[in-house]
Structure 1
Amino acid sequence: MPLFRFLAVLAACFVAGPALAECRVGAFETMPERALIHLPAARSSAPMPLVMLLHGSTGTGAEMLRDSHLAETADRHGFVVVSPDGGIAAKRGYVWNIPGVLTVSGTLPPKDARDDVAYLTDLVDRLVATGCVDAKRAYLTGLSGGGRMASWLGCVAPGRFAGIAPVVGLRAGRPLGSDPMQADPATCRPSASVPLLAFSGDADTTNPIAGGGAPYWQYSQITALQRWAALNGCSNPYARNVGTTVYEQGYSRCRGGATVAARVMRGGPHNWSVVDNEAMWAFLSRHTR
C-alpha cells in the first residue's frame, strides 16, 4: 500500500484510542495496493460492518469513494468502507474482470488478467483478519461496471456478503447466448440466498433499465430482478412509490428474509445521484450472513 494511504489509515485508527484495541493497526500495512480504506469516526471495540465499494468501468476506487459520499455515511453509522481498483487497466482507470463478459472496450478480459473474484474475496478476508471487520456483516455495492461486478460476486461468492446493492448495473449472470435479452441461468447459481437492493434511473442511456445497449448489458432490469427472485425463493411481487421521484419494484416473502428490490429514480441518469445512501445502509444493515 502506498505510504500516504497507510498513514491515513494508521491515523484514523489511533484517533479511536482504547476503544479500538481489537483493531490491529499494523495489519493494514499488508493490505493489497490500490485499495482505499476508510475507518469511520464512530467506532467501538467490536468488529465493524464493511461495505465494499466498486468503481465503474475506467474509473478508480479513489474517485468512487469521493463521488459516492459513502465515507460520510460510514461516519454516521460506524461501518468500514473499502474502495479498491479493478484488475484490468483501461484508459485513465481500471475495469473489472468478469469471466466471459465483454468489458467496455468490447473485448473479453485478457487470459492473464487478475482474478477479481479471488482478489476481492481475499481482500474481505484480510480486513476481517485485522480484527476491525465483522465477517458476518460484509456488504457489497458498485456503480455501473462495479454494479455488474457486485452482481457477479452475488452469483459466485454469496457466502462472503450479507447483502448487495448494485447501482445502475444490476445483473443476474451473463446474457443467454441464444437470446441475450434473457439471463443465462447456468451462470448464476448462488449456494445461498442473496438480499438485494438495486438503484437505477429510468433516463439511463448507458445501461438502460429496459435492456439493450452494450453487449454486456442487453437484458432488462426487471429480467434480472425476476431471476434473483427465483434464486431467493420469493413469492410476492410488489410495486410502490417511495417518494415523488422514486418508485420501487421488488419481491418479498423470500427464503431467509432475502428480499429483492430495485429503486428507480424518475429521470435519473447513469451516476451515483440515483442512490439514497441512507436507504442503502438501512437495507444492508438489516442482514447478516
Structure 2
Amino acid sequence: MPTASVVPSSGKAVPPRAHPALTVRRAGSGTARRSAMGGDETGVIRKGDEFQRGLSAHPRGRDAHEPRPRSGGAPGKSAHESSAMTMNFRIDQTGASGLSIDRPRALECRFRNSAGSRAYYLFVPSGPGDGPRPLVVMLHGSSQSARDFAIGTNMDRLAEEHGFLVAYPDQPRSANITKSWNWFRDADQQRERGEPSILAGLTREIMGRFVVDPARVYIAGFSSGGAAAAVMAMTYPDLYAAVGIHSGLACGSAGSMLLALPTMYRGALLPPQQATHPVPTIVFHGDRDTTVAPINGDQAVAQARPDSDLIVSTVEGRSSGGTAYTRTFLTEPAGTWTSEQWILHGAGHAWAGGHPAGSHTDPAGPDASREMLRFFMANPRR
C-alpha cells in the first residue's frame, strides 16, 4: 500500500502514524514539490470517503423564506449592531439569459453597525427544504460587484440545486475607489472593528432571521475578497466553519496601502502570523497569476495549518477544459482538521471554472465553486 508523509509542525517529514480513521490510497502520480507548508508532497490521502462525498446528503433547510423567531440572537452578537436588513422579495435579472441571480427570491439587503454599512444580495433557494440551511458568504474582488461575482461563480445555481443560502456583500467605492476589500489596513484586520465587524454582523443578521445551521456557515472570496475571507477566518473562527480563498492572500500579509502592492507581487516579507484557532481552508491559485503572486496562496495555507503533525499528500489532474492542476491534501492524523490547496498550472488571476459572462473568470479551469462547496459540506463545525 502506498504511503503519505506525516509532516510535523517543524516541516520535516516523519514516517506516517497509523490511525484507524484514515484510508490511504494512490489516486494518481504526482511530482513532489516544496511549498511554504513544508515537506515533500506525494501520493494522496482520503479521510474515509470524505473527499469523495457528493453534496446530496447534506441537510436542506425548511422554508428559508420564513424568518426564525428571535430568541437571544445568533452566537456572538455585538451590542453595537443595529438591525437594518431590508427583505424585499424580487426577481433580480442579470441581463444575460440563464446566468446567476436569475432565480426568484434574491433579496436586496443592507446591514449597519457602528463601523459602517454594506449592501448585499442574499440568494434564497426556492425549495422548502427539510431542516436548517447552510450559509455561504461570498466576497468579490477588486473592480467587481456582488452581482458580477454571482454571475461569474455560478454559486446561485449550486445554492438552488443543494438548498443553501448565499450572501454577496458589495464593497462601495466610498470605502475603496477600486471596490477592493481593505484587507491591507490594520483596522480592517481585527475582530469587532472595521470591515470584519460588518461582515460578521451581516452574517449574524442572516443567522438570526433565517433558519441557518450554525455548524455550516462558511466564507469564501476572490482576490481582495479572498484576502478578506482569510481575515474573517482568523478573526472569527467561532463563526465560520471553513474558508475558501481563491487568488488571495493570508491575513496580515500587509499592514498598509504602501505595502499592499509589493505583497501582492512578491508575497509577505515576513511569514504571516499562524492561526490560533485554524479552520479548514481550501485555496485555489493560478501559478501564472501576475496580479497576486502564487506564493500568497502558499502563505494562506501555511497560516491556516495547526501546530501539529500533518499528513500531506498530492494528486495531479486535469479539468474537462484542459487545465492541469496539482491538488494537495493536509490532514491531521486524528481527522479533526483538513485543508486543500489547488495549484492551477498555466492559469492567471481568474476564478476557475467560472462563467465567461462574469469578470475575471477562467471557464477552462476546474469548477472552484463546486469544489469549495464540496469541501464546505464535508467540514461542518465539530
Is the shorter-chain TM-score for this pair beyond 0.5, marking a shared fold? yes
Alpha-carbon contact 1:22-1:46 (below 8 Å) kept: no
**Residue aligned with 1:20, SS:** coil
Alpha-carbon contact 2:64-2:124 (below 8 Å) kept: no
1:257 paired residue among 336, 342, 354: 336
1:189 paired residue among 269, 275, 290: 275
Q: How does 1:138-287 map to 2 (within 5 A)?
A: 138-175=217-254, 180-185=268-273, 188-190=274-276, 192-209=277-294, 211=295, 220-231=296-307, 233-243=308-318, 245-253=324-332, 257-273=336-352, 274=365, 275-287=367-379
CA distance in 1: counterparts of 2:272 and 2:64, whole angstroms: 47
Cα 1:96–1:55, aligned 2, differ >3 Å: closer, same or farther?
Answer: same
1:50 paired residue among 135, 139, 147: 135
Alpha-carbon contact 2:184-2:254 (below 8 Å) kept: no
Cα 1:43–1:257, aligned 2, differ >3 Å: closer, same or farther?
Answer: farther
Q: Which runs of 5+ in 2 are unaligned?
A: 1-61, 70-84, 88-108, 112-117, 260-266, 353-364
Cα deviation, 1:46-68, whole Å, max 9, x if unaligned, reads 22100100010232212111111
Q: Which runs of 5+ in 1 are unaligned?
A: 1-18, 102-107, 212-219
**For residue 152 of structure 2, what is the aligned residue in structure 1?**
67
CA distance in 1: counterparts of 2:339 and 2:238, whole angstroms: 17
Cα 1:34–1:172, aligned 2, differ >3 Å: closer, same or farther?
Answer: closer
Mapped pair 1:119 → 2:204: no
Equivalent residue letter for 1:235? L
**Residue aligned with 1:174, SS:** coil
CA distance in 1: counterparts of 2:334 and 2:86, whole angstroms: 37
User: Alpha carbon RMSD of aligned pairs, Å?
Assistant: 2.9
Identity percentage of aligned residues: 22
Alpha-carbon contact 1:234-1:251 (below 8 Å) kept: no
Q: Structure 1 residue 198: deviation in Å?
A: 0.8
**For residue 181 of structure 2, what is the aligned residue in structure 1?**
96
TM-score, with normalisation over the residues of structure 1?
Answer: 0.75
Mapped pair 1:24 → 2:67: yes
Q: Which has the higher helix share?
A: 1
TM-score, with normalisation over the residues of structure 2?
Answer: 0.58
Cα 1:135–1:28, aligned 2, differ >3 Å: closer, same or farther?
Answer: farther
**For residue 12 of structure 1, what is the aligned residue in structure 2?**
none
2:208 paired residue among 114, 125, 129: 129
Segments of 4+ moved more than 6 angstroms: none
Alpha-carbon contact 1:155-1:173 (below 8 Å) kept: no
**Residue aligned with 1:160, SS:** coil
How many residues are matched?
A: 246
**Residue aligned with 2:318, SS:** coil
Q: Structure 1 residue 129: deviation in Å?
A: 0.8
